[in-house]
A and B are shown apart, each in its own frame.
Chain A
Amino acid sequence: MKFRAAFFAASTALALGPLTARGEDLAAGISRDTVEITSNFTGTDVVVFGAIESETGEALPATEPRDVVVVIRSDKPYTVTVRQKERVGPIWVNQNMRRFAGVPGFYFVASTRPLKEIANADMLGQLEVGLDHLALGPAPGAIGGPRDYREAIVRAKMRAGLYGEHQGGVSFLSGSLFRTTVALPANVPAGNLKVLVYVFSHGQVSSSNSMTLFIDKTGVERRLSDFARNDPVFYGAAAVLLAAFAGFLASLAFRERQ
């Protein structure tokens, strides 16, 4: 009986992942649940906020140490190729390449304190919290890359403004109310973003919450990208013909002046 109970508890813990409610509730929200990409989209700010309450609905005493980590990442993973240049004589040339899978198109993490003070590396790795803990693995059929290849991906994404870490970016407004602002860059990939909020206490997740932020192209942007994807043959033919027609029109327009 005892064994069964333990088994049940273990399997529940597995199913729920690392979250174990310990007599507290997390309520969280996003300032908007949809970001519409129109033709004048240049990026936008999203506010993630929330409150931690005890089960009785009271605010937690400020004496109880709490840390909040907010992760925003794209749902859709990519496969990427990393190439390394090496010097051959006086010439730099691509020598080695590795392929990685499970690379999120966008990843941002904000936390109340530096991540390594919040939890240990095992826990952070399990949750994929922090750029150092992203689970970027070798693509199927590829050999795993050494650490510097993996870091090259993070570096390239940070340069493009698509990956970021803001330690201290989450602030408590009171003992239980917290908020953070995330700047979504203009080149954020369209699709769903997962917004994950973790409350840590003594290095363990005490509660968590998952929300979805929809990044959606609208209007002309939407129609064009749907057209390109759903009907590529027609789209390609139309692109070629319209380009040729534009050249033809231009030659007519400039005819007199020659």
Chain B
Amino acid sequence: MQIYLPIAEMPVNIFLIIGLGAAVGFLSGMFGVGGGFILTPFLMFLGIPPAVAVATQSAQIVASSVQGVIAHWRKGSVDFKMGGVLLGGGVVGSIAGIQVFNALKAAGQADLFISLSYVIFLGSVGGLMFWESLQAVRHGGSNVGGVKREPGGHYWVHGWPLKMRFQRSKLYISAIPPAILGFLIGVLSVIMGVGGGFILVPAMIYFLRMPTSIVVGTSLYQIIFVAAFSTFLHAVTNHTVDAILATLLILGGVIGVQFGLRFGARLRSEQMRLFLAILVLGICARLGLDLVLTPSDTFSVTIEGAE
């Protein structure tokens, strides 16, 4: 069954879009990622203009992450304080990201630099995570929390000032590392045009040493604001949020999120880390192949707008 999209100005198959929304919602509910990095290329493959795809999927992410956060909040597994610090860093980071982006563009080779650093970054994060979680799964890791903490262990960040107590995450650390992390994710989001959930989640697990169960809800919490801001900005500046496409994606998304939440709750934390590592490596492989494979058309054409 086909339905015409008023902003994309083309028809799509209703069930295909609902199914796509469900699949991305599942990942979102399970891992605490937005899922834009999968949805956007898929929508573009269906012929939806890139600007509409990017803007509209962010509306779905708003719905999915609100739903996910509420479910996690009921279980007490959202660290709002940590989310707030990350978000604060993120706002500053997005502003800085625009400067970095323009500087890279002016220097030329921006595309090459961004793609390469992205692939290397994702590859190493995914690889390390894969190795660590595989070991943990093999040894039947019994910790219900996050990465195993050495008893009374101190990390380098413990000496930093501005210590804050993050009760939910069972952490008493300086506010600077999470703020820096938020900042970096903000810079990346602007440069890559993605929400950054799939980088934020591993970073919270391994750098901040938050319990895996708290990470998903907290990541979704900060994604709500990133996605809401992005939806609003695209609607105002480019008029590219397609209400009908968004409705269909959300319809599938809410069902997918629910399944993702339940599936995620049943997984042990090292199993979840293993699946997430596979997902991150998958994204890395896709980006890497895009760089190396000979494109079917070496030219790409983007419509800037009506004259």
Cβ A250 vs Cβ B297 within 8 A: no
Instruction: Pick from A41, A88, A224: contact of B11, CB below 8 A.
Output: A41
Q: Contacts A39-B4, A189-B9, A228-B239: A251 and B291 contacting too (C-beta < 8 A)?
A: no
Which of A2-10, A63-71, A92-100, A167-175 lies on the face that meets chain B? Answer: A92-100
Contact status B224-A228, CB under 8 Å: no
How far is it, in angstroms, between the C-alpha of A92 and the C-alpha of B299 when the chains are bound? 11
CB-CB < 8 A to A190: which residues of B? 9
Decide: B299 and A217 in contact? CB cutoff 8 A. Answer: no
- A88 near B112: Cβ-Cβ < 8 Å: yes
A window 87-109: CB within 8 A of B: 88, 90-94, 99, 101-103
Beyond contacts A93-B291, A186-B2: 7 other A-B pairs, Cβ-Cβ < 8 A, are: A78-B305, A88-B112, A152-B299, A224-B7, A232-B236, A239-B243, A244-B228
Number of interface residues of A (CB under 8 A): 67
Task: Determine chain A's interface SS by DSSP, over half rule.
Answer: mixed
Partner of A233, one of B74, B236, B243, B299: B236
Would A243 and B250 be within 8 Å (CB), given that A85-B295, A91-B292, A99-B304 are in contact?
A: yes
Q: Is the CB of A243 within 8 A of B10?
A: no
Q: Is the CB of B297 within 8 A of A235?
A: no
Q: Is there a chain B Cβ closer than 8 Å to A54's Cβ?
A: no
Contact with B along A220-258 (1 / 0, CB 8 A): 111011001100110111011001101110110111011
- State whether the Cβ of A42 lies closer than 8 Å to any Cβ in chain B: yes
Closest partner residue, chain A, to B259 (CB atom): A254
Measured CB to CB, the residues of A under 8 A from B are 37-42, 76-86, 88, 90-94, 99, 101-103, 148-149, 152-153, 155-157, 160, 186-190, 217, 220-222, 224-225, 228-229, 232-233, 235-237, 239-240, 243-244, 246-248, 250-251, 253-255, 257-258
Which residues of the partner chain B approach A86 to less than 8 Å between Cβ atoms?
298
Segment 68-91 of B: residues with Cβ below 8 Å from A: 68, 70-71, 74
Q: Is B306 within 8 A of A243, CB to CB? A: no
CB within 8 Å: A-B pair count: 197
Contact B111 A94 (CB under 8 A): yes
Q: Is the CB of A91 within 8 A of B112?
A: yes
Shortest Cβ distance from residue A102 to the other chain B in the assembled complex, whole angstroms:
8
Interface string of B272-293 (1 = CB under 8 A from A): 0000000000000000001111
Contacts of B4 in A (CB 8 A): 37-42, 186, 221
User: Within the complex, which residue of A39, A77, A255 is in contact with B306, where a contact is CB–CB below 8 Å?
Assistant: A77
Cβ-defined contact, B241 with A247, below 8 A: no
**Docked-complex contact B59 and A240, CB < 8 angstroms:** yes
Cα distance, A101 to B300, chains bound together (Å)? 16
- Contact residues in A for B228 (Cβ distance below 8 Å): 240, 243-244
Cβ of B67 within 8 Å of any chain A Cβ, yes or no, is yes
* Residues 205-252 of B contacting A (Cβ, < 8 Å): 224, 228, 231-237, 239, 241, 243-244, 246, 250
Q: Shortest beta-carbon distance, B214 to chain A, in Å?
A: 17
Q: A86-B298, A94-B111 are in contact. Are A239 and B292 (CB under 8 A)?
A: no
Residue numbers in A under 8 Å from B236 (CB-CB): 232-233, 236
A229 touches B305 (CB 8 A): no
Which of A92, A217, A233, A239 meets B6, CB within 8 Å?
A217
B16-73 interface with A by 8 A CB criterion? 47, 59-60, 62-68, 70-71
Q: Which residues of A are found within 8 Å of B250, using beta-carbon distances?
A: 243, 246-247
A239–B235 CB distance below 8 A: yes
Known: A235-B235, A250-B258. A40 touches B3 (CB 8 A): yes
